[in-house]
Amino acid sequence: MTTTWLVILNIAIMLLLIIGLFYMQKKHISFSKRVFTALGLGIVFGFALQFIYGPTSEVVAKSSGWINIVGGGYVKFLQMIVMPLVFISILTAFTRLKLSNNIGKISSLILGLLVATTAIAAAVGIATTLGFNLESVQISQGDAEVARGEMLEQKNLELGGRDLPQQILDLLPANPFLDLTGARPTSTISVVIFAAFIGMAYLGVRRKAPEQAEFFSKIVDAFYAVIMRVVTIILRMTPYGVLAIMTKTVALSDIDAILKLGKFVLASYVALLIMFGIHLLLLTFAGLNPVTYIRKAFPVLTFAFTSRTSAGALPLNIKTQKSLGVPEGIANFAGSFGLSIGQNGCAGIYPAMLAVMIAPTVGIDPLTPSFIATVIAIVAISSFGVAGVGGGATFAAILVLSALNLPVALAGLLISVEPLIDMGRTALNVSGSMTAGILTSRATGEIDSGVYNNMNEKIEAEV
């Protein structure tokens, strides 16, 4: 068969799998089961394409391009709704009086938990790297690694001079309309701040001109209802998106490179699993059942894992928190803040591991307590403003390595296994933001334990 016919055959198989998932939806199979089925089918189909044709074949490349219309299109739809959702969710928290009484306490708790867990994640990354005895000199540099290193060096030059005061200033919305487009790495936090300003202005108007405030509140509620309806429509596409994304990822993965760098991949996932276990321990110490959390969080963690976008997972993130008994306002704040602050995987574990791996190349002993403490502190501080989309981990690595005066180019050595590691990092990012929302709700006494423990209160009913 010619390449064209083989591509058509592969597309036809993908369409049959999509029809199968649609049939499951019509039979009212639960959302979680459909997502899990899509994940499994994507892995199997992806491996089949790679085994039959090879990851570098023209057939796989062209087939993946067509398959990506479903996967990539789904991610774009999610990214399309992120900024409107962040803006209207924060504003609604004010108009519905969800946060007016203790907004300062709630914001401080969420931010504190995000940064604290990122510092813990950095310590986990350091310990794992030392435990596996990982060093950058163990990795051979090919053309791809060299090119990646040069790109990182150029990126570092563009970011040069970004000290801590400048990073803080970058969080502020000089042009909120620009930030609503997501143009900057810190756009999400800027939109949160802009929405909070409008929300506080609303509270002031409500005291002086209640009729105008009531009219504004109705407009906000109308927009919120429409935006959430759009979110629900998009979330219904999740199984199809997961199927296509996983198929493409597995089909194009360089298995040989993964096997050669298996030690680094294994160490990364050990660190990620340890940190996820810490999330569960924190929930347990708060008197909450970690198994319930895992069962309810599975769909959003699965999507984050396959799509590699924390921002795209925001709608599912917020809905999952609400199914865990977190009040709407806190869920909105935790999900939105978690997109750019304190990402446990991308801004915590990853840059800390790189710092320890690269340190010996410049004569630094990574076992020195002062070096370890410095890395943890810099990682925590630099975790502000890391983008929740593809490239966030690279941005965090550049900030941390440049602050430690370590060669940034060496961060490109893991380029061949970067997508595989990034999948786990993104899932951990989302888990970290949800954990912050749940623990904040628990600390303020606002969590609904009945909803948390009720397995019928899941997002399946809405999607």
Query: Span 391-409, mean pLDDT?
Result: 71
Band of residue 140 on the pLDDT scale cut at 50, 70, 90: low
Band of residue 95 on the pLDDT scale cut at 50, 70, 90: confident
Domains with residue ranges and CATH for the chain: 3-461 (1.10.3860.10)
Please give the Cα distance from 414 to 35 (Å, whole number): 29
N-to-C CA span, the chain: 41
Question: pLDDT value at position 119?
Answer: 92
Mean pLDDT is lowest, of 312-316, 396-400, 440-444, for 396-400
Question: pLDDT value at position 336?
Answer: 82
Question: pLDDT value at position 290?
Answer: 94
Please give the Cα distance from 254 to 55 (Å, whole number): 7
| pLDDT tens digits for range 77-90 | 888 888 888 888 88
**pLDDT, greater one: 148 or 117:** 117
**pLDDT above 90 as % of the chain:** 21
Question: pLDDT value at position 436?
Answer: 94
Please give the Cα distance from 72 to 242 (Å, whole number): 10
Query: Span 159-170, mean pLDDT?
Result: 62
Please give the Cα distance from 201 to 223 (Å, whole number): 18
Angle between helix 328-337 and 418-443 (nearest 10) = 150
Find the helix or strand (DSSP H, E) in which 46 lies.
helix 31-53
Among 348, 353, 336, which Cα is nearest to 377's?
348
Find the helix or strand (DSSP H, E) in which 165 lies.
helix 164-170
Maximum average pLDDT range among 141-145, 165-169, 255-259, 302-306? 302-306
For residue 307 the two structure tokens come to 């799509």
For residue 242 the two structure tokens come to 């997961």
Please give the Cα distance from 161 to 200 (Å, whole number): 34
Beta-ladder partners of 384: 341
Identify the residue whose tokens are 């309810």: 296
Question: pLDDT value at position 463?
Answer: 60
Please give the Cα distance from 302 to 2 (Å, whole number): 36
Evaluated on CA atoms 329, 335, 341, 345, the torsion sign reads positive
**pLDDT, greater one: 134 or 320:** 320
Question: pLDDT value at position 459?
Answer: 59
Query: Span 165-186, mean pLDDT?
Result: 76
What's the whole-number average pLDDT of the chain? 82
Task: Tell me: pLDDT of 19 over 60.
Answer: yes
Q: List, as one string, the DSSP characters of 179-229.
A: HTTT-STTHHHHHHHHHHHHHHHHHHHHHH-HHHHHHHHHHHHHHHHHHHH
Question: pLDDT value at position 461?
Answer: 44
Contacts of residue 22, Cβ cutoff 8 Å, sequence gap at least 6: none
Please give the Cα distance from 99 to 308 (Å, whole number): 31
| pLDDT tens digits for range 285-333 | 999 999 999 989 988 898 888 877 787 788 889 889 999 999 888 888 8
| pLDDT tens digits for range 369-389 | 888 898 898 888 777 655 544
Mean pLDDT is lowest, of 29-38, 110-119, 176-185, 279-288, for 176-185
For residue 147 the two structure tokens come to 């090119």
Band of residue 278 on the pLDDT scale cut at 50, 70, 90: very high
Query: Span 418-437, mean pLDDT?
Result: 89
Please give the Cα distance from 224 to 222 (Å, whole number): 5
Task: Tell me: pLDDT of 416 over 50.
Answer: yes
Mean pLDDT is lowest, of 110-119, 179-188, 307-316, 348-357, for 179-188
Question: pLDDT value at position 162?
Answer: 56
Question: pLDDT value at position 386?
Answer: 59
